[in-house]
Structure 1
């Protein structure tokens, strides 16, 4: 008998293991190793170029071969990325590691949500998906906050030992994923593998051609999310320049991540709020956070990161829930990956520009 509580609990645990790390403040770690903000911006661009190439194929593979299998592949990519970073001595090897991290993200981004929604649909509890999405974002923010709080530990023990610890968490995560139950899409899996892949891609494109509203939601959410993510990334390097004590850097980064938790829970209090109003509020908060980055006070800069994360995650929860209701089950992972695809397109444009702006503006 299918147990939805156990299934969701395992998805939550997998998310914890996938997001908790001593290397959360990777920008700070690279900066401490002597890499410039421009080089870090290049590495971020490589991440999104890789992501944009493999995002849609990974979603199709999840719908065709199974969401559980692709979560396993994602975990393996994370393990390989950690190994590559341990042996990195220049920007090229750093980019190899970053590319593998991107593949890890690709194979998990739409897959976990697709498995969760269809599992809840099977149990008749899909109405609670927005709460699930809120919980997942809370897990992401808490784990990211703890990870960045451990930035001092990573710098103290060295990046090799820090990334070595990720190998251990990957092994545990693989065990958790192996115990999950696969939930197939609504359509029968007929035909050859290539035919099934082609059919999935064709049906997904057909859906997007008709559902212009879904594309609009994806683009709005991706733009706000990209601006927030870039702000939080570069604040890791900018806060020390404003004189924040080393012992307080991790606490400041944790504070900023806490903003996402507030946003993901706050949006649940307004189930009937119009999407345009939610978007306007989120965009306003992120803009305020960007302006706060120019303050001479590291306290105001950190508060800016906090309110930007609040707006970002509030919009993410509402957007994801609306999109999942629109998506057909048999192409759910593919279509969820389209949102990540749009995010990567925006990030490819903004990442190198942000590296220049945060350095010279």
Structure 2
């Protein structure tokens, strides 16, 4: 019998460990190392190109070979990225490290949510998922905020020591992931545990079996999206708002010091902005009757307002802009995730979540270099 409390708690702890880092303000760290905003924008583009290439395959692999296994793979990828960043001495190596971070993100993005939803569905508690999604985003924002509080300390000890500490954190996370139980919950009472890629499926011609399952899973996911076109509209809406928020917060890391924020206070400024996401993720739970189109309109407006406030040049006002953007992003994210999870079939759940991340990466690939130019000029 699945102990749902332990299962969800382990996912929460894993998420916290994944987001806790001395290098949360990585843009500020790169800027302190002498990289320009244009170079950082280019590196961010490399991140999202890599994410674009691996996002959907990682989701399919999670559906085929287990969400827990892919969460572990994600952590290993992050360790490799940290090691490359420690030894980096040029933009090429920085981009290589960010590529591994992208793959780490890919292998975790759909796996955790899919495992959580199916675990809850297995015990008949899928209605709890909206609160889980809210808590997950709160953990993401809060731990990310705590990480940015370490910005000054990371700059003080240097990037090598900071990324070295992240390697140790990843090792602890793997220990947290190992006890997780693999769960698949289909329609109705069709539930099972363990990886779907059983011995029969991969016996004999291993590559052929994997290839067929890979193509089948992807085709079924595309068929679902074609049938349920609303899902793609939801994905695009959520990704657009999220992309603007993420880029704004990234470049505020480099622009706030220029606006007068002391190095020692930068972490507190970034933490304040991240807390906007915590508030947004919690507030949306109290607005269950608010229609999605109204939620989208309000959050899109607040994100754009955040961008305009960044232009003020007054760091307190700029911080308020970042706070509003984070608030809007996470509020919309919780509502969108809940609607999509209720629509997704279990067999393709991680794949479809990855397709959502794929749309986000496409938008980021376009916006990242443009944002580098705009925020450098503006």
User: Smaller-chain TM-score range?
Assistant: over 0.9
**Distance apart, 1:181 and its partner CA:** 0.5
C-alpha distance in structure 1 between counterparts of 2:84 and 2:210, whole Å: 32
Report if aligned partners of 2:19, 2:144 keep a CA contact under 8 Å in 1.
yes
- Which residue does 1:103 correspond to in 2? 103
Is residue 2:187 matched to residue 1:195?
Answer: no
- Which residue does 1:32 correspond to in 2? 32
Is residue 2:349 matched to residue 1:309?
Answer: no
- Which residue does 1:19 correspond to in 2? 19
C-alpha distance in structure 1 between counterparts of 2:327 and 2:6, whole Å: 29
Q: TM-score, normalised by structure 2?
A: 0.94
**Distance apart, 1:185 and its partner CA:** 5.0
- Which residue does 1:180 correspond to in 2? 180
- Which residue does 2:147 correspond to in 1? 147
Is residue 2:366 matched to residue 1:349?
Answer: yes
- Which residue does 2:161 correspond to in 1? 161
- Which residue does 1:84 correspond to in 2? 84
Helix, strand or coil: the match of 1:124? Answer: coil
Report if aligned partners of 2:130, 2:335 keep a CA contact under 8 Å in 1.
yes
Report if aligned partners of 2:4, 2:123 keep a CA contact under 8 Å in 1.
yes
Helix, strand or coil: the match of 1:73? Answer: helix
Match of 2:352 among 314, 335, 354: 335
- Which residue does 1:212 correspond to in 2? 229
- Which residue does 1:359 correspond to in 2? 376
- Which residue does 1:226 correspond to in 2? 243
Helix, strand or coil: the match of 1:184? Answer: strand
- Which residue does 1:49 correspond to in 2? 49
Helix, strand or coil: the match of 1:313? Answer: helix
- Which residue does 1:289 correspond to in 2? 306
- Which residue does 2:339 correspond to in 1? 322
C-alpha distance in structure 1 between counterparts of 2:297 and 2:10, whole Å: 35
- Which residue does 1:256 correspond to in 2? 273
Report if aligned partners of 2:119, 2:185 keep a CA contact under 8 Å in 1.
no
- Cα RMSD of the aligned pairs, angstroms, is 1.0
Report if aligned partners of 1:185, 1:331 keep a CA contact under 8 Å in 2.
no
Is residue 2:290 matched to residue 1:273?
Answer: yes
- Which residue does 2:74 correspond to in 1? 74
Q: TM-score, normalised by structure 1?
A: 0.99
Deviations 1:112-141 (A, max 9, x none): 000000000001100010100000000000
Helix, strand or coil: the match of 2:183? Answer: coil
Structure 2 unaligned segments of length 5 or more: list them: 191-195, 202-208
Helix, strand or coil: the match of 1:218? Answer: helix
Deviations 1:126-164 (A, max 9, x none): 001010000000000001101111001100000000000
Deviations 1:192-217 (A, max 9, x none): 32222121111001001111100000
Deviations 1:311-345 (A, max 9, x none): 11000000000000000000000000011000000
C-alpha distance in structure 2 between counterparts of 1:219 and 1:58, whole Å: 20
C-alpha distance in structure 1 between counterparts of 2:233 and 2:217, whole Å: 22
Report if aligned partners of 1:63, 1:185 keep a CA contact under 8 Å in 2.
no
Residues matched between the structures, number: 361
Is residue 2:121 matched to residue 1:118?
Answer: no
C-alpha distance in structure 1 between counterparts of 2:222 and 2:229, whole Å: 11
C-alpha distance in structure 2 between counterparts of 1:315 and 1:6, whole Å: 28
Is residue 2:244 matched to residue 1:237?
Answer: no
**Distance apart, 1:243 and its partner CA:** 1.0
Q: Displaced runs of 4+ in structure 1, greater than 4 A?
A: 187-191
- Which residue does 1:63 correspond to in 2? 63
**Distance apart, 1:248 and its partner CA:** 1.6
